[in-house]
Structure 1
Amino acid sequence: MAPKTKYNMVKEQIIEWISSGKVSPGEKIHSENELVKLFSVSRHTVRQAVGDLVHEGWLYREQGAGTFCSDHSHEPKLQSNTQHLTDNGRNIGVITTYISDYIFPSIIKGIESYLTTQGYSLIFACTDNDVEKEKQCLQTMLSRNIDGLIVEPTKSSNYNPNINYYLELEQKNIPYLMINQFYSQLMPPHFVMNDEHGGYIATEHLIELGHEKIIGVFKTDDLQGVNRMQGFIRAFREHEVPFFSDMVITYTTEDQDHTILEKLKSFLTGEDKPSAIVCYNDQLALNVLNILRELDLSVPEDVSIIGYDDSFLAEASEVKLTSVSHPKMDMGIEAAKWIISAVEANGSSTHSTVYEPELVIRHSTAPIKKTTLI
């Protein structure tokens, strides 16, 4: 078993305090400084863990007063393992890469909020972006005789070895919908972002602020990252900004925690530093922000940063992140409506939806300093 991360350690301990009654609804939790000392972790780790718990409904913030325990006694909580929430004979499976982190709780809550009002049972599972775990999830779903399936693809930019399970769903006339991305081998119905355009508008914003030395950091085993990188490169071409060596840094699921951050730190300590960074998502942007602090570089004075997904993390730090929007809960609700319609029509619709992104401008981007050049 992999060692527990400090981030998850903090989250799980706070949840345990709440679940055991050590912290009551409406009671203020420890301050940020107290949590840093208590767990011997960085301020960034505490902010990320607390921000996640606020987003999931365990905690709530009051401006100027602090962070408090929510009244969670009537709210179902999402688990990281497969979970059958109710049992009324009509089952919808939901498979995501992750359940309890980042934007996924909002997507799942959107799905859950609609399906449960229509009297459907939900079966949740997550793959941790691992194809072998995806295989296990699909086998579980098929064994439970689901009526429909909503899936977030695992490592969507690669060939998927589990295609036969999706073909089995089709053979059994079980409709399925893919969200966030889709497997190109299947070309199934899907609800996705126009991620190429998202990468483009993020980069264009920086170019319009006068930045030319811009690097992009993208996760390339998921199709979202590949498409965002394409938009990043297109913005350079269309605005006739010269390309330069090492303008793109890539990483995969396996090396996202340490390898990519060390690579980025090495790049930022070189002589030819970038003046702006486009990040694969908000989670990465917060990690980049932490590295810049360590290097005594200010955001946006020294380096501008743009995240992606406009998640709760975009406002979890003292530097509020400019970020590309993601529909999150709306996508979940619309996906739930689609799957019920397909189930009740006794067949899979071919309808797909592409959401157009917008740039939410906050405080992490600013015009380039003209005085930096000698």
Structure 2
Amino acid sequence: MTADPDFRPHRVVVLALDGLLPFELGIPHRIFGRPRDARRRHLYEVVTCSIRPPGPVETDADFAIHVAHGPEALATADTVVVPASYELGPVYGQGVLTEELTAALARIRPGTRLASICTGAYVLAAAGHLDGRPATTHWADAERFQRMFPKVKVDADVLFIDDGDVLTSAGVAAGIDLCLHMVRRDHGTAVANEVARRTVVPPHRDGGQAQYIHRPVPDPQLATTTAARTWALGRLHEPIQLRDLAEQEAMSVRTFTRRFREEVGVSPGQWLTQQRVERARQLLESTGLSVDQVARNAGFGTAQSMRQHLQTALGVTPTAYRRTFRADGQKVSTARASRPAAASARASAKSSTG
């Protein structure tokens, strides 16, 4: 097999700041370190750097880590990921960057994709990258984040937001959702699903952050909506009414709707639309079915209806989406997702479209 001189893995540089959470630092390495192409070549190269010369970086645990790269690595990045840190100093306290951090971020080339996990969004916001844009962070920090950065359009209900070249995620494990989304955006559902399977996590989580905010624990004797969701997933191609879902749990429509939102974080109708969008994406990528057939199999009924929902959720038409992703899951177009397509994550991650 001859070498491909034009092949170069996408370079992800993870910025390790003092006080970082080791779990979050490991997320990009785990998710981006897995994807390979048909020739078993790594699709990403992941590098960790600090804002100082190579050396130790403190964590929030009882150990430090040795980072082998300094800030110069940021100049080589195609994507920069900023995990959370508990020692952001003036960034967290006053919303301003230190001189050292300012100098490091200045090395990032224009057009580089930027992403944050949890309170890493403070760094992007303090640098001005989130002004006028939608963004999220951990739900417990969202109100404070909005007060500190009033120009940012904070949405505390989502797991992550994709605004094209700038992406932000909610707390901790939502970084997994974000990184899987970037793999899905770059290389398709099949590749992202394989990474999720190998990582033993769901390729897509239902609902937003609302389901993780503390509320009284419900009586374990009470029924949940799990059976209704399982029933619906096996019948997405059929018309499904709210009363049909409620009947699966022997609840009134009102009780079911309330319980569903408490458990999933969105309304039954929003959830159902999201699942149908995901089904349509999979069929468009992995089958040769016509757009009309995909629309029927995904439960949209008509191609026009599916086109409207995909345009809202993904920012593209079904035909354009299929052109972007081959049936084997490998991306045909290497063009970056445009900012209008950013609605993609707010439907895919947010699970809250209304």
Provide TM-score, normalisation by structure 1. 0.29
Task: Identify, as 1 or 2, the structure richer in strand.
Answer: 1
Higher relative contact order, structure no. (Cα contacts within 8 Å, ≥ 6 residues apart): 1
